[in-house]
């Protein structure tokens, strides 16, 4: 890597941002909040369901998902990995951060007939609890998550496949008090503004569940989360995410971290698993993907907004990152 710049040698050197984009005041804001506050969790495949028995609620078709068990008890399992399952009790919230196929069911290790088309609402179906023969209603709220790409990919990659917020965990009290009832009511609400309310509740649950994991001491032991929360690498990471369009050099990033260039480059690569230049490239492309969905910018404006003086160079870089041109990317996401 060129010692003077984190940009790959084949990239056109970036220019200062020329598009008028608002910048929040980050003074006094902790690193995790700065990563999370721009989270937009658009909901897809929202269901308020009663689990059949036998049967299962299947999910994970290309997107993360959020589950809230409203009544009863259910088994959450990643398909093909029964050892990675979890029992959910009433009031528990589960964030499946990976897009891997998974399912909820009444029993662990049983052979289920898949129920792909559960009714959106059901209030009378009951099942027999195999453990004690009792009749148990199992009701669950579920939502697929179309996550805003900006700054979120490394965070979700750093999470385990399933993150749980248990009903009895006092650390969840700031957001979970009344949340299950509120999200169930919002899922059934058909009045104006109901969808915005529902997505705000889902966003609160996603943020709360992520916080719960990150604040656990073992979550900070290695990798990206440790780097984000470290007083040295954290400022450099946040600087790239907050202002990817800037003409970041290795010297400038090392200054943010309070290190020499050689020490910063070695430690960054060891902790993150990628060189600073490759990480900055991803930050720029994530920002571009977000702007494609949020703003109707012309290609030249979009290129400058993520640090490229050449529209052609930006389009080539984006296609290499996303596998399609910016225009096709916007069109594909708009039809989802």
Residue 2: pLDDT above 70? no
Q: Taking each helix axis from N to C terminus, what angle separates 276-294 and 326-334, rounded to the nearest 10 degrees?
A: 50
Radius of gyration of the chain (CA): 22
Instruction: Summarize pLDDT for 41-50 with one digit per residue, the tens.
Output: 778 788 888 8
**3-state secondary structure at position 68:** strand
Name, of 109-113, 173-177, 184-188, 314-318, the range with top average pLDDT.
Answer: 314-318
> Quick one: what percent of the chain has pLDDT higher than 90?
28
- Looking at per-residue pLDDT, the higher value among 194 and 335 belongs to 194
- Residue 23 near residue 245 (C-beta atoms within 8 A): no
User: Do residues 253 and 264 make contact, with C-beta atoms less than 8 angstroms apart?
Assistant: yes
> Quick one: how far is CA 293 from the chain centroid?
16
CATH node for 41-220: 2.60.120
Closest by alpha carbon to 138, among 12, 54, 237? 54
What distances in angstroms separate CA 61 from CA 146, 207, 270, 319, one per listed residue?
11, 22, 33, 24
Predicted confidence (pLDDT) at residue 11 exceeds the cutoff of 50: no
**Taking the domains of the chain in order of start, what are their residue ranges?**
41-220, 243-334
pLDDT band at 280 (very low <50, low <70, confident <90, very high): very high
Do the Cβ atoms of 272 and 294 come closer than 8 Å?
Answer: no
pTM: 0.71
Mean pLDDT of 131-141: 65
pLDDT digits (tens, 9 = 90+) for 219-261: 666 678 888 888 889 999 989 988 999 999 999 999 999 999 9
Q: Higher confidence at residue 277 or residue 132?
A: 277
Lowest-confidence segment of 149-163, 167-181, 262-276 by average pLDDT: 149-163
Mean predicted confidence (pLDDT) in 145-154? 62
Burial of 31 (0-12, 13-18, 19+ CB in 10 A): buried
Q: How far apart are CA 333 and CA 328, in angstroms?
A: 9
Q: Positive or negative, the Cα torsion across 157, 161, 167, 169?
A: negative
pLDDT in tens, 202-213: 988 988 888 888
* Run of H or E residues at 146: strand 139-147
List Cα–Cα distances, 180 to 91, 133, 184, 257, in angstroms. Answer: 7, 27, 6, 42
Topology at the third CATH level for domain 243-334:
Arc Repressor Mutant, subunit A (1.10.10)
Element (H, E) at 253: helix 250-257
Quick one: 150 exposed, middle or buried, by C-beta within 10 A (0-12, 13-18, 19+)?
buried
């Amino acid at each position: 890597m060129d010692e003077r710049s984190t940009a790959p040698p084949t990239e056109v050197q970036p220019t200062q941002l020329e598009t008028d984009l608002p910048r929040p005041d980050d003074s006094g804001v902790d690193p995790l909040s700065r990563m999370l506050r721009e989270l937009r969790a658009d909901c897809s495949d929202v269901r308020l369901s009663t689990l059949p028995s036998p049967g299962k609620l299947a999910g994970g078709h290309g997107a993360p998902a959020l589950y809230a068990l409203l009544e009863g008890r259910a088994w959450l399992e990643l398909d093909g990995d029964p050892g990675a399952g979890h029992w959910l009790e009433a009031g528990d919230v589960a964030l499946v951060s990976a897009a891997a196929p998974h399912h909820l069911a009444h029993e662990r290790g049983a052979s289920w007939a898949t129920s792909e088309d559960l009714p959106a609402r059901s209030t009378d179906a009951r099942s027999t609890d195999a453990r004690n023969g009792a009749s148990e209603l199992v009701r669950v709220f579920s939502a697929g998550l179309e996550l805003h790409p900006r700054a979120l990919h490394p965070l979700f990659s750093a999470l385990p496949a399933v993150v749980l917020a248990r009903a009895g965990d006092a650390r969840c009290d700031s957001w979970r008090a009344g949340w299950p009832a509120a999200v169930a009511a919002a899922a059934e609400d058909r009045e104006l503004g109901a969808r915005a309310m529902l997505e705000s509740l889902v966003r609160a649950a996603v943020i709360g569940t992520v916080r719960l994991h990150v604040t656990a001491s073992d979550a900070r032991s290695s990798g990206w989360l440790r780097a984000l929360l470290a007083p040295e690498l954290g400022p450099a990471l946040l600087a790239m995410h907050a202002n990817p369009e800037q003409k970041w050099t290795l010297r400038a990033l090392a200054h943010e971290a309070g290190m020499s260039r050689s020490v910063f480059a070695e430690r960054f690569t060891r902790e993150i698993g990628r060189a600073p230049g490759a990480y900055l490239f991803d930050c720029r492309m994530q920002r571009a993907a977000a702007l494609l969905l949020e703003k109707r910018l012309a290609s030249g404006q979009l290129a400058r907004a993520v640090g490229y003086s050449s529209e052609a160079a930006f389009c080539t870089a984006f296609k290499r990152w996303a596998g399609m041109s910016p225009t096709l990317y916007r069109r594909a996401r708009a039809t989802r």
